[in-house]
């Protein structure tokens, strides 16, 4: 059965480029991003892992731990990481899982037979500190991920997890947000003292509450 939003992220033990890990222990109290790659030494994935490494501080300030997965071996990962560091001018410090038997890929439904019988598709999961899956994005092998969008969604997930708001189309951190419909208009001033704008009775905007 495919994983869905709100499901518990399957735990696993695995060999990685940084040693053996227990996934839940690795995440600890952090948010997590788990993302898969069809294979080592693939061009698009090389740029993606390089971009992830370059955004190390951005993930850290959001309390997010990243971890990648490929169906190749730890030894293969080591050589690939050298290439990534060289060609992308970065230092990969996050683990890359060696999922040679594809057990983790299967548990996360990362193999789509219509795309490939053996290779993982380019899947990405955002996992919250309660180990619940909060976001699933699947890209085709030909299209690299937009990491600014991934950071934007993490900002939205973290904001909306702790405040009674939603984020509108194209929202970016620091912009106005939408008050949830479950909050009565007369209760907004007490809950959102920065004020609000009523566009329609069902569309009320307020400044981002945690800024």
Catalytic residues: 45
Residue with tokens 């293969």: 76
Cα angle 153, 88, 35; round to 5: 35
User: Can you tell me the distance from the alpha carbon of 157 to that of 135, in angstroms, rounded to the nearest whole number?
Assistant: 9
- Count Cβ atoms within 10 A of the Cβ of residue 144 and give its class: 0-12 exposed, 13-18 middle, 19 or more buried: middle
What number of other Cβ atoms are within 10 A of residue 79's Cβ? 13
Determine the Cα–Cα distance for residues 42 and 31; give it in Å rounded to an integer.
27
Name, in order, each residue with C-beta under 8 angstroms of 39's C-beta and a sequence gap of 6 or more: 45, 70, 71, 72, 119
């Amino acid at each position: 059965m495919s994983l869905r939003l709100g499901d518990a992220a399957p735990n696993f033990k695995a060999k990685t480029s940084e040693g053996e890990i227990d996934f839940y222990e690795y995440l600890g109290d952090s948010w997590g991003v788990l993302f898969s790659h069809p294979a080592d030494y693939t061009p698009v994935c090389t740029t993606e892992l390089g971009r992830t490494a370059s955004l190390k501080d951005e993930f850290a300030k959001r309390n997010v731990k990243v971890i990648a997965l490929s169906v190749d071996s730890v030894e293969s990962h080591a050589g690939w990481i050298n290439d990534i560091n060289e060609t992308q001018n970065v230092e990969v410090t996050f683990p890359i899982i060696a999922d040679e038997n594809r057990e983790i890929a299967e548990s996360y439904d990362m193999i789509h037979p219509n795309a490939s019988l053996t290779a993982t598709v380019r899947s990405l999961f955002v996992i919250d500190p309660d180990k619940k899956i909060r976001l699933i994005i699947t890209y085709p092998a030909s299209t690299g991920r937009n990491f600014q969008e991934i950071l934007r969604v993490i900002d939205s997930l973290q904001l909306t997890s702790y405040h009674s708001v939603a984020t509108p189309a194209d929202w970016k951190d620091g912009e106005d947000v939408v008050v949830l419909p479950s909050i009565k208009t007369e209760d907004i001033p007490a809950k959102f003292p920065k004020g609000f704008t009523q566009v329609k009775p069902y569309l009320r905007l307020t400044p981002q509450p945690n800024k």
